Amino acid sequence: MNVPGLVHFFEERRNRGESLVLVTIFNTSGSTYSKAGTHMLIDGEGDFRGMLSGGCLEGDLALRASKVIESGTPQAVTYDLAQDDELWGLGVGCDGEMQVFLQALTAANGYQPFAAIATAMQGDRPARLAIVIESEHEDIPAGAAAIGVGERVRGLGLADGLAGGLVQDVRRPAYEQVKLDDHRISVLMAKIHPPPRVLVLGAGPDAEPVVRFASELGWRCTVVDHRDAYIESGGFDAAEKVICLPAGELAATLDLSQYQAAVVMSHHLATDRAYLVQLATTDMRYVGLLGPAARRDRLLAELGESARSLSTRLRGPAGIDIGGRGPAAIALSIVAEVQGVLQGRIG
């Protein structure tokens, strides 16, 4: 899910006072394109952001969304993809089942729950989310939600005092029945993980595709370079921040604890050394260094004691060996490696 794209789509329509529909997968079985907890947004014209099925079901969802906007009544729908040829004529070839929940986001309901979800997506801390799919509780209607960040739990369409009974800390999205005041409530419970913040240290031409590919994944990139000319000529519109400052002032200027990964690519030994000294004091999960192994070894030797804390995290040469050449292929290999490390697929 491209978080910035989804949030931008939402904010544009909210600013114009337009209604939308939040579509959420709340349960799946078998083989499906997306899993529980995935969101998409559909506006009144049928335009959407986010995909649940690779384009197979989005047309039907757009038709349903228009009815949900008109009625204001949420709707739960089950798609049996094993029967897609008979039902839709789509030839998807999947054998799974997907259950989705559509709910209207309007000015009258404060665009909740997605307004709170969007805030959490842009934050720095994971949030716990619960969306009510079905309810026997008169004070907790279908479509109500609750969100928790830290110790604070907030009700969206229900009282805060009831919200605490719905929100749980789950490792992965789960569709469950809970009992509250002797009433059964079916709830999707999920965790909202804000997209990672990534430092790109060096603004040369080969940094541009790194930022571009990272932004496609929804990552929040900060580009830093000590050379004005590189900053001014670089195409970094997709970056969250672009900063010109001396390499030695990185830690004093930015809160490095907010970043999960860094790619060191200034192509200048002294500058890269200054960056690595500061990155060594962090617990950043990924630190990538461009250049051959001999260059990496030389820099580590020059770092002395600081090199110890980097030994298990420094990837140099940065990137997975995919056999490509040129800036785009190298950027692809780096972004793929960062993804693998952050997702625990690469040790």
Residues 62, 64: Cα–Cα separation, whole Å: 5
Half-sphere exposure of 309 (CA within 13 A, CB side): 13
3-class SS shares of the chain: helix, strand, coil, % to 5 = 35, 25, 40
Residues 57, 90: Cα–Cα separation, whole Å: 9
Neighbours of 123 (CB within 10 A): 12
Contact predicate 189/129, CB 8 Å: yes
Sequence length of the chain is 347
Q: What is the DSSP letter of 107?
A: T
Q: Per-domain residue ranges for the chain?
A: 1-109, 112-194, 197-342
Per-residue pLDDT tens digits for 294-344: 999 999 999 988 888 898 899 999 999 888 789 999 999 999 999 999 998
Q: Which residue has the tokens 């031409």?
A: 205
Per-residue pLDDT tens digits for 259-269: 999 999 999 99
Neighbours of 330 (CB within 10 A): 20
pTM over 0.75? The answer is yes
197-342 CATH fold? Rossmann fold (3.40.50)
> Per-residue pLDDT for the chain (347 aa), expressed as one digit of tens each?
556 689 999 999 999 999 999 999 999 998 888 899 999 999 999 999 998 887 778 889 999 999 999 999 999 999 987 765 444 455 555 678 999 999 999 999 999 999 999 999 999 899 999 999 999 999 999 999 999 999 999 999 999 999 988 998 888 999 999 998 889 999 999 999 999 999 999 999 999 999 999 999 999 999 999 999 999 998 899 999 999 999 999 999 999 999 999 999 999 999 999 999 999 999 999 999 999 999 999 999 999 888 888 988 999 999 998 887 899 999 999 999 999 999 988 87
